[in-house]
Amino acid sequence: MAKFEGIKWASKQMRYLLVEKKFGLFKADDKVYAVSRSIQYGLFLAFEGIRFFCKRDQKGKLKLIFLNWDKNLERFQKGIAFNLGKDQQHLVPSVQEMEDIFINKYFQETSMLRFLAEMAEIAAQGYLRPFTVDEEQSIGVTFPGNPSIRAVACSYDRYLGEPFCGVVVPHMVRAMGINKTGCLKLGINYLMSAKAIDEAKKVCPEAASALFLDDNPLARLEDRHITEWDSSCCLFGFRDGKVLKIPESNLILPSVTIQGIVTILKDMGIPVVERHLTYGELLHKVKAGELVAACSVGTAGILNRCHRLVLVDDKGKVVADHHPDEKHPLYSKFGEAREYYFNIYKEKVKVLEGMKLFSYLLE
């Protein structure tokens, strides 16, 4: 899977016990019990990735900025609810409750304020990673007895980045739509993502990302639908100037970032079509030279254009090899959209309709 580069972790992590509604701070490397069911079986592992930016305002106060992060919190909330039993649903925190513990408790802690001040000094990108564990010492295969939210934060230089090589991996399935897991950030999905990268490297040793098809491996290969990259969503740009977005479903993560990028592209006057794309159609467009760019879109990397996309048949044999047309106007427009998206965090450009900027003064 794609990796963070130039990462620097904050010295503290937070914990919020859902049963006791109790907040605490610990060293960043604090561990849960070695035999916790969260470690042994991956139960109750939901997580979220939230981009943020920190700067000084005109009075010199630290200002923490998020874009559409209410949607991040809502998605995290759904992941928590999925991992709890029907008799535990009252433990699921509200969006407002999570906003309070992250902003007013975690980020206001003294060492976190120092960390954010350093970020503001160098204008670094920030990433908040809340996740869930079971704090109870147990190896039982049941719902968690003492569920909690933990969170860590870091700054980083880039994630995935350009150029990157991607490979279609048709013989593996990331998630099952019938289980309604593909639309959530759950630990059960991401092991398959890591395994898919191993498979991709067998085809292309420098592969950094795997492109998944749908959850119907028994169907004719050409009829199956494109879904997501291993750890991000897809956008495809074609020679006619149109961009294609894969519709959200139980297999597709409702990406906060892709919604923002699509808004920016539309504001640029670029038509964005939301529809399914079969593997057969993608193969045809690659062979006909109609695909201008295949993009990876996600929280940490925002948007990265694939410099090589390798397509294979049902036996793993390479049948097509896409390289972007960097001279096509759409290729540069994708880069401009990425820059605009990050500049919203920096408050350098206007916030477009449908987007919501959250800012908090700290200290």
Mean pLDDT by 10 residues, the chain (363 residues): 85 97 95 77 85 96 97 96 96 98 97 97 97 88 92 94 94 92 87 92 96 96 97 96 96 94 98 98 98 97 97 96 98 98 97 96 89
- 329, 262: one domain: yes
| Residue 353 domain-assigned (yes or no) | no
Q: Distance (Å, rounded) from C-alpha 204 to C-alpha 197?
A: 10
Token pair for 277: 């794309």
Residues 242, 174, single domain; the answer is yes
Residue 361 domain flag? no
- On the 0-12 / 13-18 / 19+ scale of CB atoms within 10 A, 345 is buried
Residue at 289 is within a domain? yes
Q: Tell me if 43 is assigned to some domain.
A: yes
The answer to whether the CB of 98 falls within 8 A of the CB of 13 is: no
pTM score, two decimals?
Answer: 0.94
Instruction: Give the pLDDT of residue 208.
Output: 95
Q: Distance from CA of residue 328 to its chain's centroid?
A: 28
What is the per-residue pLDDT for 2? Answer: 67
Sign of CA dihedral 288, 258, 278, 185: positive
Residues 120 and 139 in one domain: yes
Q: Which residues contact 354 (CB under 8 A, 6 or more apart)?
A: 259, 263
Cβ neighbors of 229 (< 8 A, separation 6 or more) are: 166, 209, 210, 211, 212, 296, 298
Q: Name the residue range of residue 75's domain.
A: 4-157
In terms of domains, do 338 and 306 share one?
yes
Tell me phi and psi for residue 228, to 5 degrees.
-140, 165
Strands (E), 30-110: 50-56, 62-67
Q: What is the CATH number of the domain that holds 76?
A: 3.30.470.10
Terminal Cα distance for the chain, rounded: 37
Q: What pLDDT is attached to residue 207?
A: 96
Which residue, among 149, 111, 128, has the nearest Cα to 32 in the 3D structure? 149
Q: The CATH number of the domain where 177 resides is what?
A: 3.20.10.10
Q: What integer pLDDT is reported at residue 138 of this predicted model? A: 82
Shared-domain flag, residues 145 and 173: no
Residues 168 and 152 in one domain: no
